[in-house]
Structure 1
């Protein structure tokens, strides 16, 4: 597996997680209830599989430093996501909007760094 392939596969999964994450954010904003659990589970499922592919590639395939920094930001976003789920959503406590923003911002910046690294690898690949 090449670094560009691993990053590309992870990015496809993260795009699904992003779409569901935006739906989750809209389901939370302006309402006094948390999003539906089925969306949370699908969002987390896509994100976890994408993150596992990133970790595999980071340890065994080898990414540039920009992608590794993106993986670190995605890991921090995952910690925020798990914290939101176990401390708020699962206990049926309203999730604070600031935590939702922090989770989304970390994930978005990490995703952008991974895309940039993937495109840089694709530009420098020998055809």
Structure 2
């Protein structure tokens, strides 16, 4: 598998995950309701699949430095997502709005870096 294919696939998976993340953030920030569990699970699954694919590419074939920076940010966002899920959502405790925002901002920064790396390595 070539780097461009891995980056493109991870970008698509993360774009879909981001839609779910935006919906969940909107639900939490606009009200005191918790986002639906099924949506949170789908969001996490898609993001984890993309991060796993990026890790695989980084270890086996190598990825551009921008993609490695994006991977580092996604790992940080994943840690925040795990905290949100295990310490709050799982226990049915309201998600802290500041942590939802930080998680989202780190993920958006990673996505923008990944998008740049994907664009730079696109096949002619």
Q: Give your verdict on TM over 0.5.
A: yes
Q: Which stretches of structure 1, 4 residues or more, deviate above 4 A after TM superposition?
A: none
1:48 paired residue number: 48
Supply the distance in 1 between the matched residues of 2:37 and 2:63 (Cα, whole angstroms).
Answer: 34
Whether the aligned pair in 1 keeps the contact of 2:11 and 2:118 (CA below 8 Å) is no
Secondary structure of 1:95's aligned partner: coil
Quick check: 1:103 aligned with 2:103?
yes
* Structure 2: stretches of 5+ with no match in the other structure: none
* Structure 1: stretches of 5+ with no match in the other structure: none
2:114 paired residue number: 114
Please give the TM-score of this superposition, normalised by the length of structure 2.
0.96
Number of paired residues?
124
Q: CA deviation at 1:41?
A: 0.6
2:62 paired residue number: 62
Please give the TM-score of this superposition, normalised by the length of structure 1.
0.94
Q: CA deviation at 1:30?
A: 2.4
Supply the distance in 2 between the matched residues of 1:107 and 1:30 (Cα, whole angstroms).
Answer: 20
Secondary structure of 1:63's aligned partner: coil
- Structural RMSD (CA): 1.0
1:25 paired residue number: 25
Secondary structure of 1:114's aligned partner: helix
